[in-house]
Amino acid sequence: MRTWVDEFIHYLAVERGLADNTLASYYGDLQQFLAFLHQMQVSTWLEASKGEILAYLLYLQKEGRAPATMSRHLAALKSFYHFLVQERVIPQDPTVDLESPRLSKKLPRVLSSEEIELLLKQPNTSRPAGLRDKAMLELLYATGLRVSELISLDMENLSLEMGYVRCLGKGSKERIVPMGSVATHFLSAYLELARGKLMKIPGERGIFLNQHGGRLTRQGCWKIIKKYARQARIKKEITPHTLRHSFATHLLENGADLRSVQEMLGHADIATTQIYTHLTNKKLKEVYDRTHPRA
């Protein structure tokens, strides 16, 4: 049956174009389920019933797994058994009526406009690394790019004249995002005055370079952001998506429509983008409570 797992992972990679991290998670989840079946003395996937799958989910719950983790395990099983039915390996899908546990949506932490201004003022633009950092922070806040998308940018992904950046998001989906005059200004200054001083590897096409002259890593990028957050004395916890969340929230607060924000963020489902409306609604309620005489 491990052969069918390998076939399934190949199908997800080639036919559905899932990311390597997702493939690795699905593979690990299926191996864990197979180990559970062996403990239950069920010899193959073919013999697994709805009861065994429910017992597995109960086992995960007793192990203290989070609802999101259990949901991912069930998604892997549902997708795998659907594949087996599709390939006519089994006649019926034992997961067909099973539902994922309800997930409580955590509202993302965002920085206020004042905190963003403080953060963006921190880099010393008289130095090449400082000018790089300034351009990087301005671009992240101006576009809502994921850090992984930012560090993957090559020189040919920029159009400074038109003021937009082209990036590859999840599932290698391309999108074009406007970057605004301020980010364009500092990016131009960085490319003209600083990037050449940082570059030590001939032919390097990455835009943001580290002290060794190679492409800046995700870890390096977040060390830089956390350093400036400390300098700005921002007390909030900074996560890899803080500037992205702030970008989306501030756009909606200032009247942007949800569809446009969805497109700029590269969300496949608008429901993912809608979580930011909870933040803006919360702020409206705070303003109402603070200002209305009968609140």
Catalytic residue status for 81: no
Confidence of residue 224 (pLDDT cuts 50, 70, 90): very high
**Is 231 a residue whose pLDDT tops 90?**
yes
Catalytic residue among 72, 82, 241, 283: 241
CB atoms under 10 Å from CB of 245, counted, come to 20
Question: Which two structure tokens, joined as six digits, stand for 224?
Answer: 């830089």
For the chain, the residue count is: 295
Q: How many domains does the chain have?
A: 2
**Is 287 a residue whose pLDDT tops 70?**
no
Q: What percent of the chain is predicted at pLDDT more than 70?
A: 91
Confidence of residue 152 (pLDDT cuts 50, 70, 90): very high
The one-letter amino acid code at 225 reads I
Does some domain include residue 59? yes
**Is 111 a residue whose pLDDT tops 80?**
yes
Query: Tokens 């609140």, residue?
Result: 295
Does some domain include residue 106? no
Residues 133 and 48 in one domain: no
**Is 72 a residue whose pLDDT tops 70?**
yes
Catalytic residue status for 185: no
Does some domain include residue 171? yes
Residue 187 and residue 179 in contact, taking contact as beta carbons nearer than 8 Å: yes
DSSP 154: B
pLDDT at 295: 56
- DSSP class per residue in 117-152: HHHHT-S-TTSHHHHHHHHHHHHHHHH---HHHHHT
- Between CA 156 and CA 143 the distance in angstroms is 17
Catalytic residue status for 267: yes
CATH number at residue 160: 1.10.443.10
pLDDT at 154: 94
Task: Give tens-digit pLDDT for 167-220.
Answer: 988 777 889 999 999 999 999 999 999 999 999 888 899 999 999 999 999 999
**17 vs 210: which has the higher pLDDT:** 210
Residues 146 and 22 in one domain: no
Catalytic residue among 170, 197, 218, 283: 170
DSSP 15: T
Residue 18 and residue 80 in contact, taking contact as beta carbons nearer than 8 Å: no
SS3 246: helix
Q: Which range, of 48-52, 106-110, 208-212, averages the lowest pLDDT?
A: 106-110
Catalytic residue status for 241: yes
The one-letter amino acid code at 158 reads L
CATH number at residue 20: 1.10.150.130
Residue 5 and residue 80 in contact, taking contact as beta carbons nearer than 8 Å: yes
Residues 81 and 118 in one domain: no
Mean pLDDT of 134-146: 95
User: For residue 281, what are the CA distances in angstroms to 105, 167, 247, 264?
Assistant: 15, 30, 16, 21
Nearest to 105 by CA among 145, 60, 70, 68: 68
Residue 124: partners with Cβ closer than 8 Å, 6 or more residues away: 130
Average pLDDT value for the chain: 87
Catalytic residue status for 250: no
**Is 21 a residue whose pLDDT tops 70?**
yes
**Is 97 a residue whose pLDDT tops 90?**
no
Residues 152 and 239 in one domain: yes
Task: Give tens-digit pLDDT for 268-286.
Answer: 778 778 788 776 666 666 6
pLDDT at 237: 86
C-alpha angle 55-58-60 in degrees, rounded to nearest 5: 115
Residues 131 and 187 in one domain: yes
Mean pLDDT of 162-170: 88
pLDDT at 173: 81
Residues 246 and 177 in one domain: yes
Q: Which range, of 40-44, 77-81, 155-159, 257-261, averages the lowest pLDDT?
A: 40-44
**Which alpha helices (H) appear in 40-179, and where do they start and end?**
50-62, 67-86, 113-120, 128-143, 147-151
Confidence of residue 28 (pLDDT cuts 50, 70, 90): very high
pLDDT at 126: 96
pLDDT at 164: 92
Q: Which domain holds residue 32?
A: 2-86
Mean pLDDT of 108-136: 95
176's enclosing H/E stretch is strand 174-178
Residues 173 and 82 in one domain: no
Catalytic residue status for 244: yes
Catalytic residue among 132, 244, 245, 250: 244
Question: Which two structure tokens, joined as six digits, stand for 273?
Answer: 């983008």
